[in-house]
Structure 1
Amino acid sequence: MKQKLSLIGKYFFLILLFAVLFSYAMFQGGFVSWFLFYAFLPFLLYMIILLLYPLSDWKVTRKASSGLVEAGGSLYIDIYATRTIPFPLYFMTVEESFPLTLQREDRADDKFTSWQETSVKRTMARVVFPWFNKKFHLRYRLDHVPRGDHRFGAIRIRTGDFFGFIQKEVEIDSKGQFIVYPSKRDVNFSLRSKTFEQGNTASANFRERQSNMVAGLREYAPGDRMSWVDWKATARTNKMMTKEFEQEKSTDAFLILNGITAEGSSVKFEGAVEFTYALLQKLSLQSQELSFLSLGKERRYFPSIHTERQREIARYHLAKVQPDTESEFSKEIAKENARLPKQGVLMIVSAEFDVPVKESLLRLAPHSSRLLFFVVTPEKEWDFEKQKYAKELKEHGVYVQALTEKEWANAEFEVKA
């Protein structure tokens, strides 16, 4: 309202200035007075028309760079602006308004050195010179983009006359949504077998052949080991016969992300999300059945992650998930007892490791054939007390691994349980 009143006041001022110059030329007469009138006339007319020109005639759209963008990477944004009225504009300033989700930086692995979130005030203002053009395009780059669902709002456009007397601006609604996924990292499993029962074995690669489980006999084929030859059957049939082994059932895996964290644990939570993503990628390819449960503000349960589409849906959830600082892990995990597996491997990734979490794990241990707990923590916080918790859990069959700066400095995670 204030801007409209200001423009109306300037409009009447220009009309008054035009009338004064014209009256001066009429009553004064002579070359000088008329020269001044005609010299200022184009500028006066331009300013009057500029006041009437609707900046809302511009239509602005955004387009993000193609391809999957991961946390810590760069995102290119293209802005396309078009209009229908080719009014000459000497200059125009385009300003982007960034959402709060982008007012921080993800420094990739460097964030696990300081364990501090990097806040930043992102700005983008570009000057273009449209003149009579009906469209223009500009591109800018965002570096160190954080994981998340980033929703853009309006774009502010400013313009004015040659002298700066007239200044107009408008916010054009141009909603856009860009998803930044967690960083990708590989996991190297080395899990010791506990039993040879089918469907209840944790092997180094989740698909390892059990060489002592004979399913039948067949003729020798190139590549078969001599230790597989059944000499009795060979003598009986006069043909080289080898043992055919039953392929081990792939281990069922159940993965849980504990999204319940304390205040000020944003970097640890990001680490938990990244490690969960790494486990999800690995397990979905190597286990026969993978279930995924995300605890927190937006509780989600994925009963089966096996196809590329299912992996995509789970990855989308991990891109959007935010920490929950109000709930309690012990209460939330208790609600999910019916879903937790009695066979296979249960893996829990967390940014917190305190007494309530330890007690919850002790309650889960007797009901799981294999329980692995991963906690993202700075090395200085992995103190004697936390190590005592880990030792107590180990005595009850729970494997605990702390993901400190040392683990994040490696190219891939090592899991040796």
Structure 2
Amino acid sequence: MSIGRLLVRTGKFVFLLVVIAVLYAYAMFQGGFVSWFLFYSVVIILLCNTLFMLYPLRWIEVERQFDRKLLSHNEKMEVTLLLKKKVAFPLIYVSVMDDVPASLEGMGKAPGTIFFFTGAKQLSYNYQIRGSKRGEYWFSPITLKTGDLFGFFQKEYQIDIEDSLTVLPRLWPLKRWNALWNDNQEITPVSAKLVEDAFSVAGVRDYVPGDKLTSIDWKVTARAGKLVTKEFESQSGKGYTVILENAGEGKQDDVFEERVEFAASIIDDCYKQTIPAGFGISTNADLLIEEGSKKQHIQKIYQELAKVERADMYVDEASFFKQTVRNRSIVYIASSMTAQRMSALQSFLENRNEVVIALLQKETVADVDIEESLYRLKKQGADVMYIQSDTSAFDVTS
């Protein structure tokens, strides 16, 4: 506590003592009923005021309650602040205020309130937030305040309650993602291209909203009387391995966010088709999450995508492409290409990897050397797709 604040508090306390002394002197000299009534009334009020101030705020337990820990983009959630008094005591007022991370939008209701003259042992307050930006957010602390009748004194107490909340990336529909030009200039579904040789039907499960109609087993559905979906098992351990380019120099945050959202949309497409998916970033030599297709596995990928950040470094310094990778189906998501990066992708093709290059660009590639290199990668078996984003979907062209 600063010396100035200490002097102010001391001055207020001395002022109250002077008021009592003056009233007592007045009652002694006046000696009437009114003077003594006034003296004892003020003394009783000041004693009650003292009791209010002596009540320790640490006797109030505070909880922050969520109904879930994961939020989709722009999803709303209610937060409950619960106050429990160890000893029921009628405080004049107690205010509670939560510290909400800046990027979580409120819904018009403040993250705190004031309770007046309440003797209840348990109090609660609700407010809503919305996940408008992906990321992992931490709440802390919660602040309690109280004071006396006259505003002379005020107490403040902070409770460190760390709670985390993860806002997942936005998911967009993928226009024409399931169509690529093959060597005969015919349209071939991407998923079929990878799944045809890699997967076989392992069984069936109950239909989940979002499953494609092509994966429904109509014969079993007719026998069982309910919708069931085919489940596939891998014959050669292959699925999608999504590699996100997170290296880059300068201010490229908007472009990077588009790459993250496109990666999340691909993972969502894999989940709906029960295709195993793994995830990694270019600046990490090891995959963050290996391939899998269960719901819990996909949620882990979403959480990694929610937390991933752009590394301010030269693209060719990324460590993932400096290693030997074999027998994978890689989807590489980037916004630009360099000669060194295309050389690394060519090595991946030579090591029996299937490579899909997804370029999110505002404009088409203008560098002639880059175009020629991409054409050579196509000839060696790579699929090159150009991604354009609009207000409702990612448009995929080859």
Q: CA deviation at 1:132?
A: 0.9
Cross-structure match for 2:20: 18
Change in 2 beyond 3 A, CA 1:304/1:136: same
- Alignment check: 8 A CA contact 2:386 2:396 kept: no
Structure 2: 5+ residue stretches without partners: 199-218, 220-233
* Alignment coverage as a number of residue pairs: 349
Cross-structure match for 2:260: 273
Q: CA deviation at 1:60?
A: 1.1
- Alignment check: 8 A CA contact 2:282 2:320 kept: no
Cross-structure match for 1:353: 336
Cross-structure match for 1:226: none
Between the aligned partners of 2:19 and 2:371, the Cα distance in structure 1 is 83
> Match for 2:336: what amino acid?
F
Match status 1:332 vs 2:321: no
Q: CA deviation at 1:400?
A: 4.0
Q: CA deviation at 1:144?
A: 4.4
> Match for 1:349: what amino acid?
I
Match status 1:316 vs 2:306: no
Cross-structure match for 1:154: 141
> Match for 2:24: what amino acid?
F
Match status 1:307 vs 2:310: no
Q: CA deviation at 1:256?
A: 0.2
> Match for 1:328: what amino acid?
Y
Cross-structure match for 2:178: 189
Aligned equivalent of 2:85, options 83, 86, 89 = 83
Cross-structure match for 2:206: none
Q: CA deviation at 1:139?
A: 0.9
Identity %: 23
- Alignment check: 8 A CA contact 2:72 2:131 kept: no
Where does 1:240-259 land on structure 2 (aligned, <5 Å)?
Answer: 252-259=239-246
Between the aligned partners of 2:285 and 2:105, the Cα distance in structure 1 is 24
Change in 2 beyond 3 A, CA 1:386/1:47: farther
Q: Deviations 1:116-162 (Å, cap 9, x if unpaired)?
A: xxxxxx96342222521122111111234321111111111222233
- Alignment check: 8 A CA contact 1:146 1:180 kept: yes
Change in 2 beyond 3 A, CA 1:415/1:35: same
- Alignment check: 8 A CA contact 2:104 2:130 kept: no
Between the aligned partners of 2:358 and 2:110, the Cα distance in structure 1 is 38
Cross-structure match for 1:365: 346
> Match for 1:69: what amino acid?
L
Q: CA deviation at 1:414?
A: 4.8
Change in 2 beyond 3 A, CA 1:56/1:160: same
Between the aligned partners of 1:387 and 1:176, the Cα distance in structure 2 is 51
Q: Deviations 1:175-232 (Å, cap 9, x if unpaired)?
A: 211121122334442245569xxxxx9554643489xxxxxxxxxxxx9xxxxxxxxx
Q: CA RMSD in A?
A: 3.7
Change in 2 beyond 3 A, CA 1:86/1:297: farther
Could you state the TM-score of these two structures normalised by the residue count of structure 2? 0.74
Q: CA deviation at 1:286?
A: 4.4
Cross-structure match for 1:37: 39
- Alignment check: 8 A CA contact 1:390 1:400 kept: no
Change in 2 beyond 3 A, CA 1:65/1:263: farther
Match status 1:396 vs 2:377: yes
- Alignment check: 8 A CA contact 1:250 1:287 kept: no
**Could you say what secondary structure the match of 2:336 adopts?**
coil
> Match for 1:409: what amino acid?
S
Between the aligned partners of 1:161 and 1:258, the Cα distance in structure 2 is 58
**Could you say what secondary structure the match of 1:21 adopts?**
helix
Between the aligned partners of 2:369 and 2:95, the Cα distance in structure 1 is 60
Q: CA deviation at 1:289?
A: 5.1
Q: CA deviation at 1:14?
A: 2.9
Structure showing the higher strand proportion among its residues: 2
Between the aligned partners of 1:168 and 1:364, the Cα distance in structure 2 is 63
Which deviates further from its counterpart, 87-96 or 291-300?
Answer: 291-300
> Match for 1:277: what amino acid?
A
Match status 1:103 vs 2:112: no
Cross-structure match for 2:166: 179
Q: CA deviation at 1:330?
A: 1.6
Quick one: higher RCO (CA 8 Å, sep 6+), 1 or 2? 1
Cross-structure match for 1:227: none
Q: CA deviation at 1:79?
A: 0.7
Between the aligned partners of 2:286 and 2:237, the Cα distance in structure 1 is 27
Between the aligned partners of 1:251 and 1:359, the Cα distance in structure 2 is 26
Q: Deviations 1:304-333 (Å, cap 9, x if unpaired)?
A: 2233332232222222222212x3332224
- Alignment check: 8 A CA contact 1:291 1:305 kept: yes
Between the aligned partners of 2:52 and 2:303, the Cα distance in structure 1 is 46
Could you state the TM-score of these two structures normalised by the residue count of structure 1? 0.71
Q: Deviations 1:9-31 (Å, cap 9, x if unpaired)?
A: 54454344333322321233213
Change in 2 beyond 3 A, CA 1:402/1:43: farther
Q: CA deviation at 1:54?
A: 1.2
Change in 2 beyond 3 A, CA 1:322/1:203: closer
